[in-house]
Structure 1
Amino acid sequence: MSILVCGSLAFDTIMTFEGRFAEQILPSQLHILNVSFLVPGLRREYGGCAGNIAYGLRQLGSSAVPLAMVGNDAQDYLGRLQTLGVNTQFIGITAGNYTAQAMIMTDRDNNQITAFHPGAMSDAHTNAVPTDAGVKLAIISPDGRDAMLQHAQQLHTAGIPFVFDPGQGLPMFNGEELTSFIELASWVTVNDYEGKMLSDRTGLSFEDIAARVNGLIVTLGEQGCEVWEGGQKTSVPGVKAAEVLDPTGCGDAFRAALLHGLSQGWSLPRCAELGNKIGATKIASRGGQNYQFAA
């Protein structure tokens, strides 16, 4: 089964701050914030939600078809995806823009500060959902605002079930738009912070959201996740990481496992169990899209 992954392809610049953000930022001085962080550790990785999810799907043996836009600086990235067996047919290239760039800084408590330049991602809406590529399942992950809106509608019109994963793109949408995403989607997945924001903006409880889709998954970090189906909650325990090294991308690893399980016809709790396992593997690894795991 081909799985369409709508979202961003980006270059991640990942920096490690050895202190704590909370010790450097004075709450009483936020109105004149002027802070510099010394980051001894720095590396540049292939990233973006679509890229990370596609990588995870291929690690699990599933077919991944990203739908994304990149700039003319992405030839190495496209080559890497092709080497991994990822279908790059529907990745568009736009001239005059850089590929999206994320600058991610992590402190010793695994808190993160991220700056994101969308670049070519802003044109992602010009890349329509393919309806003749054998796609049977999809995900809407963080992307350009117009792209997320249009791709959700296109998937629904084409009768392709999809996961709505707003992630860090959730603040771009108002309550009416988020409610529309829920109505169009087959599943919704958020972390606990995003889940609270989704409920606040739509006025819908988790029970209400779950009643409108096949299932709602709320991830809780090391505490595992909640799976809501038909108004009922199932708690799926977390998997303790062997060592906490880098949380960047573990949410996308969870989404890859979720999609893999759905494509196999698994129950949502079973999908979540694999997601917790894969997320723990990712957080215990370094090197961006270089972690290894077994299904």
Structure 2
Amino acid sequence: MKYKVLLTLIVLSSLIFAGQACNRGLYGADDKSKIHVGIVFDIGGKDDRSFNAAAWTGVKCAETGMLPDGRTSCGKPALGIVLRDVEPGNPVSIEPAMRAFAERGYDLVIGVGFAQGPIMQAVAKDYPNIHFAIIDGVIFEDDGKTPKANVASLVFKEHEGSYLVGMIAAMTSKTGKLGFIGGMDIGLIHQFEGGYEQGAKAANPNIQVIQNYVGVTDAAWNNPGKGKEIALAQISKGADVIFTAAGNSGLGAFDAVEQSGKDSSGRAMHYVIGVDSNQNMVKP
């Protein structure tokens, strides 16, 4: 669903590349002839193989024209940007990283995740001549209604893709029970859950959906051990298809399904549907 992030970030970089970069004198040793893009990930990090990884793929395509593996073409020419990234590790490191990019005059500063909204609200106000973008959040002017002029707010219709996922899950299930694992218990992830359940019931009105959330803080996105624990509990209750919208925590569900084994013909007895990036390679 967040493959759109990849395309949107490339388009954003293209638009800024076409404009005038007025802050190039602040870049230091970097190539002043190129557009500079800084991206601040959420605490799941760019290698979460999900939400952050989708954003990382997008900016790497803009930088090099290649996927992060360095071998696979994105199918589009590189934009030749200068790219710098920060993986905060903990929430208190996000604002200093964002301000550092802005202070150095970067042309575009990207915040990955709704949790960075309050931070970007403040930083974008302090640096009105810098372009910002936030994924899964909306930044307003002081009136609380007008979208902030120097921020691109990238939001998506999560429930629509999740609806299709729910239909697929219900049509695949042999037990009539599905699982849903959300990361942080917030409205955004409720959108995933709601679309998933509605799609499942459209395919099978009698389907049951077992839903659980990893937690209520930012740490909920980066706890694969808890994700595995939840998935095993759902499997024990009969769920044979599990959809995760939990960032790095969702990877634990893949371990749980692998642990649950295969039938006598060698086929998996349980399935996981990933989110935000193609996760086929997690457990081929």
Q: TM bucket by the smaller chain?
A: 0.3 to 0.5
TM-score, with normalisation over the residues of structure 1? 0.32
TM-score, with normalisation over the residues of structure 2? 0.33
Task: Give the structure with higher Rg (CA).
Answer: 2
**Higher relative strand content:** 1
